[in-house]
Structure 1
Amino acid sequence: MERVDLLPPPTGADSRDDVARRADAHAAVPLLNCLLREVAEPLPGPGARPVYRLPGGRLLRVRRGRRPAEPEVRTANGWHRVDHAELVKLVAEALRRHTGVPNHELPTEMTDSRDTVAALLTARARATPPADPYLRSEQSLLTGHTHHPAPKARGGGPHAGWLPYAPEAYARFPLTLLAVREDTVVDEGDTAALDALGKAPPGYRLLPAHPWQLELTAPALAPAFADGRLVRVGTTGFFAWPTAAIRTVYAPEYLPGQDLFLKFSLDVRVTNDIRRLWRHDLMRLRRTDTAVTEAFASVGPPAAWLGDRGHRTADFAFEELAVVVRDGLRDHLLPDATPFLAAALVEGFPGSPLTATADPVAWWEAYLCAVVPPVLTAFADDGVVLEAHLQNTLVAVDATGMPVQALFRDAEGVKLLPDTPRAAGWERLVYCLVVNHLYEIAAALTEHHPGLDPWPAVRRELARHDLPEVPALLAAPTLPAKTNLLLRWTGADGADARYRPLANPLRGA
């Protein structure tokens, strides 16, 4: 089975100009969101184009909205529209003045992110989106993280190297099957599904690999292939679909009637981190997943946890070749329900139930009823801090498009009390659930359904839970907003979350 290659087709000058304009617009949204939230000073004044003062004194104005657009800077001759390249220079200068430190790497990533969007737009023009609405939602994120300076950067390599594996280009591909010499295998938890993917030679165990990761790590793995510790045994007889996380793939039919997610290492920086399965994370994966599984057993249906039930790798390439086996959807999904990635509801895509609903008030209340209780109950009863942000949450709807179930994933991002202090765990929960997730869904919903005030319903849903932190949350003047721009500019570790205050819409709602 051949992989599906999605390389940019030849285009004329007009098409290239159109792609360039659209790529600039997509890439400017999250960069402006970061700049305005983290370092710009809003100036008083009415109008649809608010004005901000940047560090150093330059004035910037943008078109108002959850997707700020059309950035302009004040010059001696009036307002001057800036393209993405000029915006990157503007942001870099503002950050250098704000922090007092230079950074030559992040502006390159910002440019790479914009160029990635351009390549994706071109590739999508000749590709066919998946028929499955769930897969379509996973592969819809052209803009991506709404508050990250370079959400689409792919390491700066040639487009031909990563486009065949890009979810946003509607990619699908078979996985490479390796055989690992049995005495070098590291196996923990339930990895039986991996043995069903093919047949390993005697004395070997089967290990699926992401083909992009094999290309990235080829020099390091060459000795193992040469001495027989690693053997190539073909490819899977099915296509895997990359999800929004890029390194995690979905196999809807790895066996007849059975589905599966597989999470791989990928030696590429995506948003804040190199997306390797790090040894220290793998070593605590079983304990974390067990704690979350037990918490969800207490929470009860319809809420569901997609368990990371085991991992397998080779001791000589522990991180490079690691793969995590994750539950598929079928055993957890309510009958006749259709799941969607929460982040896709914010991005927007054909068939989104958020835009289609005729009763946004009832839809929003049903959404909150599905998403909020499992997160707060797991924290209150079992000390589990779910990373319930938009990319880790799936929301299933019934035949009418009404939310009926939330499914959560990714044990790597989960924190457990008391390993994490309660106050720090609560702050992370509030950021992931309220700021990263509900804040963005609410903004998208009100954009499509003007006149809706989403926050009284959020306040009511939170107040139903007997947690000592909830009253303070509802009364607080601010919420914690992660500073991804400053985090990346100062070179902080991706896991070292830093927050700045964001006005709390729950207060007095």
Structure 2
Amino acid sequence: MHRPHPAEAEVADELAAVRPGLLERYAAELPGARAAVLTRLWRALAHEPLPWITGRQPGREGLALRLRDGRRLHGPTPDPYATAAYVTAVHLNGVAYDHPARLMTDLAVPHCADFAAELGHSVASLALSRAGQEGHANRWPSADWQWEQRVVDGHPYHPGCRSRPGFSVDEQLAYGPEHRPLVTLGTLPVRAEECLVTGAWPDELRDGGRLLLPVHPWQAAHVLKRTCEDGFAAHPLMSLRTLAVPGGPHVKTALSARLTSSVRDISVYSIGLSATLSAFAESLAARSDGLLHVTRTLGAATADSPDLAAVLRESPQTYAATDSGERVVPVAALATTLLPESPDWLAEFTRLTLAVGLRLLELGVALEAHGQNLLVVLSRTGAPLRLVYRDLADIRVSPARLTGHGIPVPELSGRIVTDDETTLRRKLFGSLVAGALAGTAGSATALREALETAVRDLPRTPDLVALVEEPLPTKALTLMRMSPGTPGDQWAQLPNPLVRRFVLEPGASDQ
């Protein structure tokens, strides 16, 4: 135990060359990073329908997993909603493992090698991210991008929370929001007739008959493999590929690298729908009694390639009355404040998000309301007032539900359109409850208490009944990473936090 993993040593060697002053803090952060990633991995092993786990047996001393080959894996009683790192070691046939990558390697299950490499990189990158936080964590942000930079640990439940394959240490320091860089985006001139453009493409990004497409410098170097003209400086947000232009819009760039689960390009499909979706979402938000705003897509363009595209969106700060002391905070950043520690505040925030999310779901729109897409407008005193939603690319729209409420159905096609009840509920419940709310609450107990208080005042719709009475869906993030031949989302079922008897039945998540 505590042997340096090759990925950790590789990062240390690079760090010694480019930022030696961080080496000592990086080394100090490694044990905590291992535990953080191992905790996320243990959540997956305990709850996801992984085909090589044939049984789960809870007991007084924790949870035992039976593997297909007869081996047994033992660890602490899992809390699927915990965000604190509480798993420091698990035991495979009596042998202790404190490093998630070594555990995954020795499990020797299908597709484990690539995933183990990602876990090793996730640990090393997480330690690097934490190493640069001294003197910054307790400062109250004054700019919107500074809120985004507070989310140091990445996805609260994904074992690949900080996996950035293809990024050197120097590139992580130069582009990772947690390192607080200022990034100069390049621009690539493309003839207008070769581009698909929706919305209004700004004059300052035109050069005669050519569009100047913003390009992330990593994308220019590693994917496009060409030099771009200097464009403009911007601050990276927590999604890494989206950056905030000071005093201007947010720019979503194509970044064809695998970050956590997905390769982050921008599909031609999403560019084509962006203007229609933006107008539709704006009209739908008007039905929320002022509790929801959706950031408008100002313009989007692609050179007929997911590797060369950009989307310009208005800043969420547009919806804060700054003269009244309001501020807009990404939900993922709330855990870095003291607000969630108040049960009353957490219950009020939960009530607000569920009221908005369930109302839109009833009308026919399922938001992917995870902590990155969903923001909350706070009063001067920190009270949650209303919500802001950004990035419409992965919502789901039900024509049948819209029609039932007399709402005109927009001209949409492809994966966004579905009337499947399970798909719609998974999209909202998995992102909002198992994601944003759980990550803010930080434990099953805190989440249950907030939900119990919040749901009392909500209309008893069929969707609310499903939320209260059925297992809670969540994306099976580890299963997805270990199923390279299976496209699309895969799902797991978590114990419903509204059921007080928090027991994991043997094999329940394998159903």
**TM-score, normalized by length of structure 1?**
0.80
Give 2:7's aligned residue: none
Task: Say whether the 8 Å CA contact 1:341–1:395 is kept in structure 2.
Answer: yes
Give 2:65's aligned residue: 53
Matched residue SS, 2:287: helix
Deviation at 1:311, TM superposition (A): 0.4
In structure 2, the CA distance between the partners of 1:153 and 1:44, relative to structure 1 (3 Å rule), is closer
CA RMSD of aligned residues (A): 3.0
Q: Is 1:196 matched up with 2:214?
A: no
Matched residue SS, 2:154: coil
Give 1:388's aligned residue: 369
Hey, what's the Cα distance between the residues in 2 that align with 1:443 and 1:123? 24
Give 1:456's aligned residue: 452
Hey, what's the Cα distance between the residues in 2 that align with 1:376 and 1:305? 16
Deviation at 1:305, TM superposition (A): 0.7
Hey, what's the Cα distance between the residues in 1 that align with 2:59 and 2:192? 69
Deviation at 1:248, TM superposition (A): 0.9
Give 2:406's aligned residue: none
Hey, what's the Cα distance between the residues in 2 that align with 1:190 and 1:105? 42
Deviation at 1:413, TM superposition (A): 1.0
Alignment of 1:14-53 (within 5 A): 15=25, 17-38=27-48, 39=50, 42-46=56-60, 50-53=62-65
Hey, what's the Cα distance between the residues in 2 that align with 1:420 and 1:104? 36
Task: Say whether the 8 Å CA contact 2:26–2:130 is kept in structure 1.
Answer: no
Hey, what's the Cα distance between the residues in 1 that align with 2:485 and 2:391? 22
Deviation at 1:21, TM superposition (A): 1.8
Hey, what's the Cα distance between the residues in 2 that align with 1:162 and 1:120? 9
In structure 2, the CA distance between the partners of 1:260 and 1:22, relative to structure 1 (3 Å rule), is same
Task: Say whether the 8 Å CA contact 2:271–2:302 is kept in structure 1.
Answer: no
Greater relative contact order (Cα 8 A, min sep 6): structure 1 or 2?
Answer: 2
Deviation at 1:214, TM superposition (A): 1.1
Task: Say whether the 8 Å CA contact 1:33–1:146 is kept in structure 2.
Answer: no
Give, as a single letter, the amino acid of the residue that structure 1 aligns with 2:244. Answer: Y
Task: Say whether the 8 Å CA contact 2:41–2:100 is kept in structure 1.
Answer: no
Hey, what's the Cα distance between the residues in 1 that align with 2:18 and 2:43? 29
Task: Say whether the 8 Å CA contact 1:186–1:314 is kept in structure 2.
Answer: yes
Match of residue 485, structure 1, among 478, 483, 489: 478
In structure 2, the CA distance between the partners of 1:475 and 1:508, relative to structure 1 (3 Å rule), is farther
Q: Is 1:372 matched up with 2:380?
A: no
Q: Is 1:217 matched up with 2:223?
A: yes
Alignment of 1:113-152 (within 5 A): 113-124=122-133, 131-132=141-142, 134-152=144-162
Matched residue SS, 2:316: coil
Give, as a single letter, the amino acid of the residue that structure 2 aligns with 1:251. Answer: V
- Number of residue pairs aligned between Structure 1 and Structure 2: 455
Give, as a single letter, the amino acid of the residue that structure 2 aligns with 1:112. Answer: H
Hey, what's the Cα distance between the residues in 1 that align with 2:28 and 2:467? 45
Deviation at 1:417, TM superposition (A): 0.8
Deviation at 1:277, TM superposition (A): 0.2
Deviation at 1:206, TM superposition (A): 2.8
Which has the higher mean CA deviation after the structures are superposed, 272-281 or 181-190? 181-190
Hey, what's the Cα distance between the residues in 2 that align with 1:508 and 1:468? 21
Match of residue 288, structure 1, among 277, 296, 307: 277
Match of residue 497, structure 1, among 479, 489, 494: 489
Hey, what's the Cα distance between the residues in 2 that align with 1:292 and 1:493? 31
Hey, what's the Cα distance between the residues in 2 that align with 1:216 and 1:385? 35
Give 1:3's aligned residue: none
Q: Is 1:399 matched up with 2:389?
A: no
Match of residue 329, structure 1, among 304, 313, 316: 316
Deviation at 1:344, TM superposition (A): 2.2
5+ residue gaps, structure 1 = 1-5, 226-231, 254-258
Alignment of 1:105-254 (within 5 A): 105-124=114-133, 131-132=141-142, 134-192=144-202, 195-196=203-204, 200-219=206-225, 222=226, 232-236=228-232, 239-253=233-247
Alignment of 1:272-351 (within 5 A): 272-315=261-304, 318-335=305-322, 336-345=325-334, 348-349=335-336, 351=337
In structure 2, the CA distance between the partners of 1:171 and 1:42, relative to structure 1 (3 Å rule), is farther
Match of residue 465, structure 1, among 454, 459, 463: 459
5+ residue gaps, structure 2 = 1-14, 400-416, 502-511
Give 2:88's aligned residue: 70
Matched residue SS, 2:163: coil
In structure 2, the CA distance between the partners of 1:190 and 1:370, relative to structure 1 (3 Å rule), is farther
**TM-score, normalized by length of structure 2?**
0.80
Hey, what's the Cα distance between the residues in 2 that align with 1:417 and 1:492? 28
Deviation at 1:409, TM superposition (A): 1.1
Task: Say whether the 8 Å CA contact 1:296–1:374 is kept in structure 2.
Answer: no
Q: Is 1:88 matched up with 2:104?
A: yes
Hey, what's the Cα distance between the residues in 1 that align with 2:103 and 2:25? 23
Deviation at 1:46, TM superposition (A): 3.0
Q: Is 1:260 matched up with 2:249?
A: yes
Which has the higher mean CA deviation after the structures are superposed, 498-507 or 10-19? 10-19
Give, as a single letter, the amino acid of the residue that structure 1 aligns with 2:454. Answer: V
Hey, what's the Cα distance between the residues in 1 that align with 2:127 and 2:246? 29
Hey, what's the Cα distance between the residues in 2 that align with 1:312 and 1:439? 35
**In the TM superposition, what whole-angstrom CA distance separates every residue of 1:127-162 from its partner, at most 9, and x where no partner exists?**
898942643331223322232231211124422234
Which has the higher mean CA deviation after the structures are superposed, 336-345 or 171-180? 171-180
Hey, what's the Cα distance between the residues in 2 that align with 1:88 and 1:140? 30
Task: Say whether the 8 Å CA contact 1:178–1:234 is kept in structure 2.
Answer: no
Hey, what's the Cα distance between the residues in 1 that align with 2:220 and 2:43? 35
**In the TM superposition, what whole-angstrom CA distance separates every residue of 1:301-350 from its partner, at most 9, and x where no partner exists?**
131111224202334xx3222101112123322442112211222xx43x
Identical-residue share of aligned pairs (%)? 23
Deviation at 1:294, TM superposition (A): 1.5
